[in-house]
Structures are given as structure tokens and as C-alpha cells.
Structure 1
Amino acid sequence: MLNMYTTIISAEELQNHISESDWVVFDCRFNLADTLAGKNAYLDGHIPGAIYLDLDQDLSSPITLETGRHPLPDLERFVDRLAQAGVNNNTQVIVYDDCAGAMAARCWWLLRLVGHKAVAVLDGGLAAWQSLGGQLNNHIPQPASTAYTFSLLPNQNLTVAEVEEALDAQSIYLVDARAAERYRGEVEPIDPIAGHVPSALNRPLTDNLAEGKFKPAVQLRKEWLQLLGDKSIEAVVHMCGSGVTACHNQLAMEIAGLSGSRVYSGSWSEWIRDPARPIATKS
């Protein structure tokens, strides 16, 4: 595929390609406080041709007593959903939301997890599209299903057991994408226990942004290398509250040309399920 987009895409570039038959756009808007808000917003108006993917229904599986708040979806079911939406192995996929990629990055990461390289987040999201005069409509696409063969990329997501073992061996470095006050344990609006995994670094996802879009690659690279110091990129593992916004930090590193980090999808909400696991507060 020529001109494959694998990290972010500008609204201008999307407008130039929106009518191409081998492109599929997913609307990933979602509000943790109102789980129907994203779908309702989509029904009110979305980028023409976009198909809605729900964080809870499509990008996660049901919560259990051992999991965090957004467990990984069954990947075969996820791939079936992609095929139903008209995605094949050669499709350029674009994902967007209305919160600077915080939700769309989860879909981006899942597609990469199942081996789909041609996936990019709309930089600036729906606001960037509309700022250029991009129209919205409420037509619900009915794409023809495709055949999709996926190849799961190994070792891209760590289980909680793998995280515990690697922390004991000091072979990974966790980077927490939550806001600094949540990381420090000063507030916790969602989970029952505040704090962070001991030794985890903090890089709030908002630090990746300037005026609602990702900072330039050169700036992101400088900031991430300053945070990580001499740590190996391959040893970096991203986490957050439930494994969603962790993907935003990985995307930022990919934009910066710092490839090779991984994700702990269970994240804080899974970590605190076992009271024997240690927690820390403050920085």
C-alpha cells in the first residue's frame, strides 16, 4: 500500500482520501461518565461513511472479578467486527474521537495487536475535521463484509502476572498515563483505591498534546527521552486506569520514532484487584 498511514493523519489528508474505496473510518467517541453519549453523538452526526465502535461493546470484553474496567476484547470477535465493517488486510483504517485521541488510540492499538499496520488516528479528532469545513451526516453505512485474516503480534500486551514478574526482575519500566493527581493518589474519581504501582513513572497523556493535537515528532521525542533517560525503549510498558489511555502514550512514542514499547492492558483497575499487590502514593 502506497502512502500508508500508521500513526496519525491530518484532517486535510483525510479529506483528500475520504472517498477512497479501500479506506474505512471508525468513530470511537465514548464518555466514561455516560456510556451512551458516544453512540448518541454518532447518531446525531459523524464523518460521512464512519462506522461506530463502542469502547465497552466492541473494544473491550465483559468485566470479571479479576479484570480491570476494560479487559481486552475477544480478538477473534474483534476481527469479525472489523470484517463486518468492510475492513480487509489491505484497508487503510482511520479512527477518531472527540477527546484528542484518548479513546481512538485504543482502537489503533488493537488493530496493531492483530497485525494491521495501516491504521492511524485523526489528529485533532472531530474538531479538526469540522474546523476545515468537513461535513457530518447521520447516514449509517451498511458495508459489505470482507474476509480478514489476522496474525496476532506476540508480546505486545502484558498480563498482570508478567508485569509482576518483570517488575521483580527490574526488566520493565511502567509509564502511567493518568493525570498527575490521580497518579500521586491525591484524587481517584473512578477506581476504589488511589495511587500507582511502585516505581512507575508518570506521563499524563495530555503532555503529548498542544491545542488538541499531538505535538511535533521532534518535541515528543525530546520529552520522552528526557523522561526515560537511559532506559531501553523495549523495556517501556504503558499503563493507565483501565488500559485505554495507555495506548495514547504508545502512539505518542511511535510518532516520535521511539518504537518497541508495550502495553499492560489491565492497568491500575486490575492491579488493585489483589490487595497483596503494592501501591504507592505521591511521586
Structure 2
Amino acid sequence: MTTERHPPTPSRSPRGEVFVSADELARLLTGDRPPIVLDIRLANDGPDGRPEYAAGHIPGAVFVDVAADLQSEPGGLAGRRPLPDIARLQSRAREWGVNDGDAVVVYDSAFGTKAGRAWWVLRWAGVADVRLLDGGLSAWAGRGHEVSTVEPAPPPGTVTLSAGHLPVLDADGAAEYAAAGRLLDARAPEVYRGEPAEPRRPRTGHIPGAISAPTHGNLTATGLLAGEDTLRRRFAGLGADGTAPVGVYCGGGVWAAHEVAVLAGLGIPAGLFVGSFSAWEADPRREVTVGDDPGR
């Protein structure tokens, strides 16, 4: 009797462990065990992103609200988006239909820069297989894949979560990384410089010693992730060549999470300062630097 041999499943590259293309996701969704797809919306001009989700999403994708699901109560030295309570996150993940061992794909309508928060939080909570849709919803629709307005009702999952599976920086840790020239600021360049001053914010500028590394600089003009060689050159020029871990922060721990994902795709370890600048600026003991110079 002849035994049929199937070719082994090719191992993913580090980039393939973190990102998935629209066409690959479409193929996976027709498989025997499709991934759980989570639609991550963070509205810029409203209380939540559900209206955007309702207007069109990947078929079967479950709505996840960053403010309600991926953080705890903000304020003070905890910053704008503290880590979520792990028990509540587990409850919500089960409502999304996630089981232990499930693959999860997260996406948004902002080229992944907001869904990166979900990638990071779920990986931090112990979900091993989480990937970001490269280019987000626009890449999906741009490849001609279906967009739906039907909200799914997934069966409850049984996933068990635990905290601490990714490195986290507090303000002291961020200061140490900055002093060593290994803290990246993922915000827009003008925000890094402290322009313009905002009356509603106690202070503007950046953590002394931090290096400007806007997360949008990791994307092409069409919102797709830049090529690996391009990204390696970019981060090497910023002092993140993989020889030592780096830290990343932004305003509230969203864009920085995307940059941590990009670095993970290059095999470069990075810790997230979850409180980010919103936590740093709330502490009057912490100095702030304005302008282009890191100020180390």
C-alpha cells in the first residue's frame, strides 16, 4: 500500500508571522479552520467606530472597539490608554469567538496603524497567532474582495488569556532606553517637535533622548507595508539594527504598537511604553524636549 505524503507546510518568515496579505487572508477564509477576523475601529471624530464598521467590513469580521475593549480606564500617570484588565479582555475575546489555538487576523481602515493595538494586546495576553492585515480594509477592497454589512454572531469561544507575553516599558524604563538612544517616537514629526502647542494638553514635545520614527514612515504611498530591505535600512539608520532591543512610544500606545509589530516582522525585539507620552507629560517630574533634536 502506498502512503500518500503531503508536502510540509512552509514555515513563515518573521514578517509572515506578523502580517498577512489580503489575498492570503481570502484564501485562509475558505479553509477548513479559517482565522477569527477582528475589525478594529477607533473613530477620530466620534465616540466609537461602529458606524464605520456597519457601513462595510470583511465578511464575518467581529467589531472591536479600541476604547471599550483594548484598554482600561484612562487618567493620570497611567496615560490615555492603559492596559486592559485581563479578565475582562478574556471575556470579550470569548464573545468574539476566540478559542485557544485559533489564528486571529486584525485589521482597520487606517492601513493597520490602529489595528496594531489589537495585535499587541492579544499577543501580550498570550494569543500566539495574531496577524495584521497588510494595508487594512482598503487593501482588501482594492483587491476586489467582498465587503459586507452583515454583523456576525459567532459562537462563544473558550480562550484562556494571561498577561505579560510581550515586553512592557514604564516611564523609568522609557527614560533608560532614551538615554541609551534606543527609544523610538512613533508619532508624526510635527507632534514630536511639539508643534503646535495644544491648550488641552499639559505639555508638548518628546521624551528627552527619543528618536523620531513616525510609524507612517513604515508604509508605502498606498498604505502597504514597505519592503523588508527598505525597513531594515530605515531602522538601522535610527539605531535599531537588531543588535539590542529598542523601546517605542507614541501619544497613547496605538501607533507605537503598530511600530512594534513592524519591528517584530524584522526580527527586532521592541518593548512598548504603553502609557506613552500621555503618561509621561502627566508627571511634572519628567522633562520634555521640543524641536527636532532628540535632546539627549
Q: Give yes or no for TM over 0.5.
A: yes
Whole-angstrom distance in 2 between the partners of 1:188 and 1:87: 43
Could you say which residue in structure 1 is the equivalent of 2:87? 76
TM-superposed deviation, 1:205: 0.7
Could you say which residue in structure 2 is the equivalent of 1:176? 185
Residues 147-205 of structure 1: per-residue CA shift (max 9 Å, x gap): 212243356112224434x359x467211001111101122567442100000011001
Whole-angstrom distance in 2 between the partners of 1:200 and 1:256: 21
Q: Which amino acid aligns with 1:262?
A: G
Is contact 1:194–1:281 with CA below 8 Å preserved after alignment? yes
TM-superposed deviation, 1:50: 0.3
Could you say which residue in structure 1 is the equivalent of 2:57? 46
Could you say which residue in structure 2 is the equivalent of 1:26? 38
Whole-angstrom distance in 1 between the partners of 2:255 and 2:132: 13
Using the TM superposition, name which of 222-231 and 65-74 deviates more.
222-231
Please report the TM-score for the alignment, with normalisation by the length of structure 1: 0.91
Could you say which residue in structure 2 is the equivalent of 1:246? 256
Query: Matched residue of 2:99: which SS?
Result: coil
TM-superposed deviation, 1:229: 6.0
Could you say which residue in structure 2 is the equivalent of 1:110? 121
* Higher radius of gyration, 1 or 2: 2
TM-superposed deviation, 1:131: 1.0
Query: Matched residue of 1:66: which SS?
Result: helix
Whole-angstrom distance in 2 between the partners of 1:33 and 1:156: 31
Could you say which residue in structure 2 is the equivalent of 1:35? 47
Whole-angstrom distance in 2 between the partners of 1:79 and 1:223: 36
Could you say which residue in structure 1 is the equivalent of 2:4? none
Q: Which amino acid aligns with 2:47?
A: T
Is contact 1:59–1:72 with CA below 8 Å preserved after alignment? yes
TM-superposed deviation, 1:130: 0.6
Q: Are residue 222 (structure 1) and residue 203 (structure 2) matched? A: no
Query: Matched residue of 2:67: which SS?
Result: coil
Using the TM superposition, name which of 142-151 and 101-110 deviates more.
142-151
Query: Matched residue of 2:17: which SS?
Result: coil
Q: Which runs of 5+ in 1 are unaligned?
A: none
Going from structure 1 to structure 2, the CA distance change for 1:273 and 1:158 (only over 3 Å counts) comes to same
Residues 133-159 of structure 1: per-residue CA shift (max 9 Å, x gap): 111222221111122122433561122
Could you say which residue in structure 2 is the equivalent of 1:92? 103
Q: Are residue 279 (structure 1) and residue 288 (structure 2) matched? A: yes
Q: How many residue pairs end up in the alignment?
A: 278
Query: Matched residue of 1:233: which SS?
Result: coil
Using the TM superposition, name which of 201-210 and 13-22 deviates more.
13-22
Match of 1:145 among 122, 135, 156: 156
TM-superposed deviation, 1:84: 1.6
CA RMSD of aligned residues (A): 2.2
- Aligned-residue sequence identity (percent) comes to 34
